[in-house]
Structure 1
Amino acid sequence: MGLFSRLFGGKSTPEVKEVTPIEYKGYLIYQEALSEGGQYRIAGRITKQLGDEVKTHRFIRSDVLPSQADANELMLRKSQMFIDQMGDSIFS
């Protein structure tokens, strides 16, 4: 039945992958590269507990790389630089 629903436009649920965050200066960085046309787009989330609330900043960049590992590594470096430059104002 799954084959027919894929062939005839049935909705598929996206595969949910468990991502282990990387802690950096009190922030949690989730590397979530997106597969796109045989390459991987840099994407992810930065979260931080502020008081009673967990704040989240999600981003998708225009950069694409040939491997998921490369995309995730660049995402991590860009996230760390973003945190260093902006601090908690990234959640504003």
Structure 2
Amino acid sequence: MGFFSRLFGGKSTTEDPVQVEAVEYKGFNIYQEPVKEGGQYRIAGRITKDFDGELKEHRFIRSDVVASKDDADELMLNKAKMFIDQMGDNIFG
């Protein structure tokens, strides 16, 4: 029900956007941006890479939810690294 209320203008349970420091990994920048939902955190973030002055970005949100922001950040970083290892530059294709 929370998804639909946010989709159609209901009260948002997310916090104000916070400036996130990127974690560099194999030429990619990983931004850990978990989404707070009902006292838990959904694993979310983005991966970016600069290609000759053009910044490419891949955003993702997972179905996984955990109890703490630190756990969500750690899981997001691990999943992003695995995704980069498997896909490389094809992430943006």
TM-score (norm 1): 0.84
Corresponding position: 1:44 with 2:45: yes
Amino acid at match of 2:50: Q
Which residues of 2 match residues 1-92 of structure 1 at below 5 A?
Answer: 15-92=16-93
Shift of 1:15: 1.4
Shift of 1:57: 0.2
1:17 match: secondary structure: coil
The 1-side partners of 2:33 and 2:17 are apart by: 11
How big is the alpha-carbon RMSD for the aligned residues of Structure 1 and Structure 2?
A: 1.7
Shift of 1:71: 0.5
Which runs of 5 or more residues in structure 2 are unaligned? 1-8
- The percentage of counterpart residues that share the same residue type is 65
Bigger CA radius of gyration: 1
Shift >2 Å, 4+ stretches? none
The 2-side partners of 1:74 and 1:16 are apart by: 20
Shift of 1:66: 0.3
Q: How many residues align?
A: 82
